[in-house]
Structure 1
């Protein structure tokens, strides 16, 4: 009898810590899911992104935070200080609209590692991407915020993947976010001439022409008011649904209706307190261990492919044991980063000689997903690219999921990766290069010339790739 009671308690305990999760492969789903969890939040919304673009998708998303803040929901946003293209006047307008008339400020925005005189730290960037609602629901993966991450850019989009999860992993992500929020690496966003004080009083001193200062203050206020109007206009468009729109406000979707239930999930992160270094790159070690334990198959997508020496050793060891390793990365035609491409091409034939199966994405879009499946059982997904920058420089986050009971999650990801592979070209297998005659097909002369120049600079910039 006691044994039976103990068994029931153990089952109940496992159910209590289990996470519900699903992938967001379709661009429209990825955008709608973000809108839904922001609109359904009750107490808190935490936002952290490497790059937010100054387009309607991004501004519309940020505009939804205004409503949340006005409802009394605490909204905290961390953005990388160098990689976000939204101007200060827009942030100032957003903060003013959200906090207008409030005794306490419900919307706060901070920036990660703003530029300083410490040039050594300048290249450390916040590459994390996550949205957390009420410490219960998490979206993380490759997508930043902007039209090209949701399939609506007219020139080129990013082909991407996110994980949406509910449960303990969201709580762990929340703790990680707040640790970063309170770390020395993160500072309150500087608004410059669009700060409330300078908009009201200007920045004139006894040594400046008072009339010119007042003219500048008036111009700043005009731009500020124009941005407020723009945000409200975009917000109105988001909230007014018409047939054909990308998202439905207050959709009522049950994103976890057919979700997988997993009880072995780990949230990973680089520490942010003193920025990332080889001594604090814990996430890198976790990923190495997960891959090194492979018995049969490693299936990877990485937009940039420059394995560290330690990972190269892991690959070599796995191949010596007969483990199959397949990697999909960007081609010359599909890449958005020629610096990373130059680094990849330097290692490309070494990887092929080791017996890895290398596939290059055909395009026309750019592959941007960062994920892997080990033995069709262990799932890795997050913001981590296979390069030195992700290993030792940037703040990165990720999730390791052990699908020990074969719920179907790992199998689902294997099929998603296969879909990427079907739009890719095999360039190496069993130590033999393939399709070398077509690797530059469709690549412009300008892009080829830039690659040659960058390749010559590799010895100087290799550690920053």
Structure 2
């Protein structure tokens, strides 16, 4: 009898594994195409504004501190609503400080909505008290995208990857930063820095009839789509008594965290509102583009629109991504751009700087394929890493957001990018990207580095090279999931 039970258990486990592999992996192996009804909406001409300036002004939050400070200012000055969508929350005092500020905003009556990814969102373990504190507050709503469900393997791979923060109809921050000390490098932080960037958008028509002309209106509509989509769930519809107690304890601890920040950084808590008008540059047009929200294989909305832009360029395209995967669509677009443009540059990490073994191993093992497209590749020589996802085109258009040059961003995850028609902002972003270029080495046609008297290639420990190679053994056959 016991033997039969064991046999049945093994059969059931085998059937479940077959079910998981069949529906969790195979559907992603065949990339989706953009539907015919969507294609007319992808006209690249809509990214270009008229000669006059629009209602939006913007600036780059490039340094880790500027990324943190801009978030604290937005939350502090919000009067009616704050909407936050973010991929994940990681360790660090800055995570506590940002959520402390959100709870303080809720205390003064601001309506706060927070959406994180349901599998890697980060408010678990030692940070679960923050999730309880959010759920317990009457002015906060907390939800997660696509939490794990054991009987829906076709949804396991889909993650929420957007990073957007909106305050009222006045200010928005959109970019590639998650929340955590690696992204904000607070005073005393000694770890490796994950260098990223945000765009801070200021709606000059806030509160006026023309406010709806701002890209913030589109961003708010997109947030509402995320908020109400079928994949988004409320993780704690009700809290147990122990959870309520933990929520109260965490809220009290976060008040102390905020008080300490006010003492340490009084310049963030001045009485006068931040002068966005004189801290930003004008823009002719800002356009938000994003992927579908279904929790499964997606049509490549963002990837196709960025490709269309690159293929219509006349002079130059510069791309920055922390890593790339060698999918056929990406390689084909790069080859076409290199054949027609004087300059096509890819800026990315090196083995020395990259902390992402699965994705970067696929790039480094396929680097010759990227070289053969004819583009120029520049790899950062630093112990800190690039995490920014940005594009420059023809001295005028820029794009910043969450989209990586990989299969996952193209076909699996939610993503958002801001396409920017502003020569003034272009110069800001170009200067920031050039600063990485000045710390990078160009990859030559023989897959080695070109000599550069100003930049020395970093030594890569043998164990890191070995781990990259081992990771590539998995990343090659499963590239479509990376």
Into which bin does the TM-score normalised by the smaller protein fall?
Answer: 0.7 to 0.9
Note the aligned Cα RMSD (angstroms): 2.4
Report the CA distance shift for 1:436/1:123 in structure 2 as closer, same or farther (over 3 A): farther
Residue pairs, 1:89-128, within 5 angstroms:
89-96=129-136, 99=137, 105-116=138-149, 117-128=151-162
- Secondary structure of residue in 2 paired with 1:291: helix
Which of 141, 147, 169 does residue 181 from structure 2 map onto?
A: 147
Equivalent pair of 1:304/1:340 in contact (CA under 8 Å): yes
- Secondary structure of residue in 2 paired with 1:77: strand
**Structure 2: distance between partners of 1:463 and 1:246:** 48
State yes or no: 1:231 paired with 2:267.
Answer: no
State yes or no: 1:165 paired with 2:201.
Answer: yes
**Structure 1: distance between partners of 2:355 and 2:129:** 28
**Structure 2: distance between partners of 1:135 and 1:125:** 27
1:308 offset after TM fit, Å? 3.1
**Structure 1: distance between partners of 2:91 and 2:134:** 13
User: What TM-score does the superposition give when structure 2 sets the normalisation length?
Assistant: 0.80
Which of 94, 113, 128 does residue 57 from structure 1 map onto?
A: 94
Report the CA distance shift for 1:75/1:427 in structure 2 as closer, same or farther (over 3 A): same
Equivalent pair of 2:323/2:360 in contact (CA under 8 Å): yes
In the alignment, structure 1 segments of 5+ residues that lack a partner are: 1-12, 100-104, 200-216
Residue pairs, 1:419-438, within 5 angstroms:
419-428=435-444, 431-435=445-449
Equivalent pair of 2:81/2:168 in contact (CA under 8 Å): yes
Match of 2:20 in 1: none
In the alignment, structure 2 segments of 5+ residues that lack a partner are: 1-49, 204-213
**Structure 2: distance between partners of 1:355 and 1:246:** 51
Residue pairs, 1:327-406, within 5 angstroms:
327-403=346-422, 406=423
Match of 1:6 in 2: none
State yes or no: 1:455 paired with 2:472.
Answer: yes
Which of 460, 474, 478 does residue 443 from structure 1 map onto?
A: 460
**Structure 1: distance between partners of 2:251 and 2:318:** 46
Alignment deviations for residues 385-420 of structure 1 (CA, whole Å, 9 cap, x no partner): 0000000101000111123xx3x2112211111101
1:462 offset after TM fit, Å? 1.1
Match of 2:163 in 1: 129
1:224 offset after TM fit, Å? 4.9
Equivalent pair of 1:156/1:365 in contact (CA under 8 Å): yes
State yes or no: 1:38 paired with 2:75.
Answer: yes
Which of 173, 178, 188 does residue 234 from structure 2 map onto?
A: 188
1:436 offset after TM fit, Å? 8.0
1:140 offset after TM fit, Å? 0.7
1:89 offset after TM fit, Å? 2.6
Alignment deviations for residues 13-52 of structure 1 (CA, whole Å, 9 cap, x no partner): 9868431111111222221111111111111100010011
- Secondary structure of residue in 2 paired with 1:21: strand
Which segment is superposed worse, 356-365 or 81-90?
81-90
Equivalent pair of 1:331/1:439 in contact (CA under 8 Å): no
**Structure 2: distance between partners of 1:456 and 1:246:** 51
- Secondary structure of residue in 1 paired with 2:116: strand
**Structure 1: distance between partners of 2:235 and 2:344:** 43
Match of 1:287 in 2: 306
